[in-house]
């Protein structure tokens, strides 16, 4: 089994006045190639930071520590970041907001042409255009879109155009940062199934960041639930989302409305801890219903339980 992304003891932080706030801490993650790997979690828990780190789009003021290996290349090695040759060629990112990814003063065709030309420099103009039209049909857009401006497209079409733009360099890994968050319920499903189809046909490794459980269930093979910058539960999608073990995941699934469900929705009391002010011991202590003494003192390691990984003292033998 080939690993597309592997991280060991990865720390990512941003500079504050008081020092460095570590947003992602002690991340040990290994993603096999040709699967869809899902990162689920609340807002502000570090999902997007992990996605940006893999896509090589960390801002220059970010601090890193540990190791991240993408496609056998050591991109983050302690403080050094070497993304040349990886970023934009092997790993691309599908942006959260398609409106900000497209230049309002250029046609979709022009923008795609430039992206294609940037990666395949020895193509003639005619070949570039053919390739662009192929990309457009790949994301199920009409040929007319080639001559349209972003403001003439609907939200779903814009997102499709943004996906086409990301696929232009023929990448191996795509990081989809909440690609469905700005769409309505029908389009959410349409875009998700498009991404699923592309993942299968292009043999991509997709890292899918979302906070919507039904979409994750539909698209993903493996799921990692992130809380306070660390993985709390990881396993195959059907396993984790049907039969959660970690108390946070249990509560998270109860907080999401299910079709035809009779049980009441509950919320998780409290707030996720802000980066830089994580509590001592297990990070879920202030909100956990099953808390006991050991949780407050020591942080649990990520332990294997059957075919999943879990970070909780309750399952520690």
Partner 1 sequence: MIRSIYVVVHDILSILSRTWRKRYSFRIASVAMTFVFLLAILGPHIAPYPRQGLGLDVDRSRALLPPSPEHLLGTDSFGRDLLSRILFALSRALYPSIVVAFVSLLLGIAIGSTATLLPKPIEISLSYLIELLLALPSVLLAALLAILMGGTLTSIVVALIVTWFPWYARIAYIQARNLKELDFVKLPLYYGLSKGYVIIKHIAPNILAPMLIEALSDMGSVVLEISTITFLFGIGITSIEEPDLGMMIAYSLRDLARAPWTFLAPSIVLATIAIVFTVFGEAIYEEHHPVLKKRWWLWF
Which residues does 52 contact at the CB level (< 8 Å), separation at least 6?
Answer: 58, 93, 175, 177
Q: Is 6 in the site for partner 1 (CB under 8 A)?
A: no
Contacting partner 1 (CB under 8 A), which of 41, 51, 66, 88? 88
Angle at alpha carbon of residue 121, lines to 116 and 126, rounded to 5°: 65
Contact 65, 10 (CB under 8 A): yes
105 lines the binding site for partner 1 (CB under 8 A): yes
How many distinct helices (H) and strands (E) make up the chain? 10, 13
* Binder of partner 1 out of 149, 202, 218, 315 (CB under 8 A): 149
136 burial type by CB count under 10 A (0-12 exposed, 13-18 middle, 19+ buried) = buried
Instruction: Decide if residue 236 touches partner 1 (CB under 8 A).
Output: no
What is the Cα–Cα distance from 227 to 44, expressed in whole angstroms? 9
- What tokens were used for 173? 């890994």
Least Å distance, CB 14 to partner 1, is 16
In whole angstroms, give the CA distance from residue 236 to residue 10. Answer: 22
> Among the candidate windows 100-108, 127-135, 203-211, 271-279, which touches partner 1 by CB under 8 A?
100-108
Pick from 32, 97, 250, 299 the residue near partner 1 by CB under 8 A. 97
Q: Name the segment binding partner 1 (CB under 8 A); options: 111-119, 124-132, 255-263, 301-309.
A: 111-119
* Rounded CA separation 22/12 (Å): 6
Residue 122 C-beta: closest distance to partner 1, Å: 17
Q: Toward partner 1, which CB reaches closer, 86 or 249?
A: 86
**Using CB under 8 A, which residues numbered 50 to 79 contact partner 1?**
56-57
Which is nearer to partner 1, 87 or 230 (by Cβ)? Answer: 87
C-alpha to C-alpha distance for 228 and 105, rounded to whole angstroms: 40
Choices 12-20, 94-102, 122-130, 270-278; region in contact with partner 1 by CB under 8 A:
94-102
- Check binding of 114 to partner 1 (CB under 8 A): yes
- The contact set with partner 1 (CB under 8 A) reads 56-57, 87-88, 93, 95, 97, 100-107, 110-111, 114, 118, 149, 169
């Amino acid at each position: 089994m080939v690993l597309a992304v592997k991280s060991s003891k990865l720390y990512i932080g941003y500079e504050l006045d008081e020092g460095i706030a570590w947003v992602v801490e002690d991340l040990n993650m290994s993603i096999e190639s040709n699967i869809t790997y899902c990162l689920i979690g609340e807002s502000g828990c570090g999902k997007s930071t992990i996605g940006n780190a893999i896509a090589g789009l960390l801002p220059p003021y970010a601090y890193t520590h540990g190791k991240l290996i993408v496609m056998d290349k050591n991109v983050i090695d302690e403080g050094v970041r070497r993304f040349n040759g990886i970023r934009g060629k092997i790993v691309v990112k599908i942006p959260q907001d398609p409106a900000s990814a497209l230049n309002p003063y250029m046609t979709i065709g022009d923008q795609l042409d430039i992206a294609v030309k940037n990666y395949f420099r020895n193509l003639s103009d005619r070949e570039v255009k053919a390739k662009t039209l192929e990309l457009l049909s790949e994301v199920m857009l009409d040929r007319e879109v080639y001559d349209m401006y972003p403001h003439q497209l609907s939200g779903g079409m814009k997102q499709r155009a943004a996906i086409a733009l990301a696929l232009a360099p023929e990448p191996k890994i795509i990081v989809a940062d909440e690609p469905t968050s700005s769409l309505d319920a029908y389009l959410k499903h349409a875009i998700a199934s498009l991404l699923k189809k592309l993942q299968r046909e292009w043999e991509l490794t997709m890292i899918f960041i979302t906070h919507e459980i039904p979409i994750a269930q539909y698209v993903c093979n493996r799921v990692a639930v992130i809380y306070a910058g660390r993985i709390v539960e990881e396993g195959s999608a059907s396993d984790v989302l049907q039969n959660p073990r970690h108390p946070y995941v249990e509560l998270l699934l109860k907080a999401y409305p299910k079709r035809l469900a009779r049980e009441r929705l509950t919320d998780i009391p409290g707030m996720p801890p802000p980066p830089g002010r994580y509590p001592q011991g297990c990070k879920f202590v202030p909100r956990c219903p099953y808390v006991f003494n050991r949780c407050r003192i020591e942080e649990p390691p990520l332990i294997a339980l059957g075919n999943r990984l879990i970070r909780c003292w309750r399952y520690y033998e």
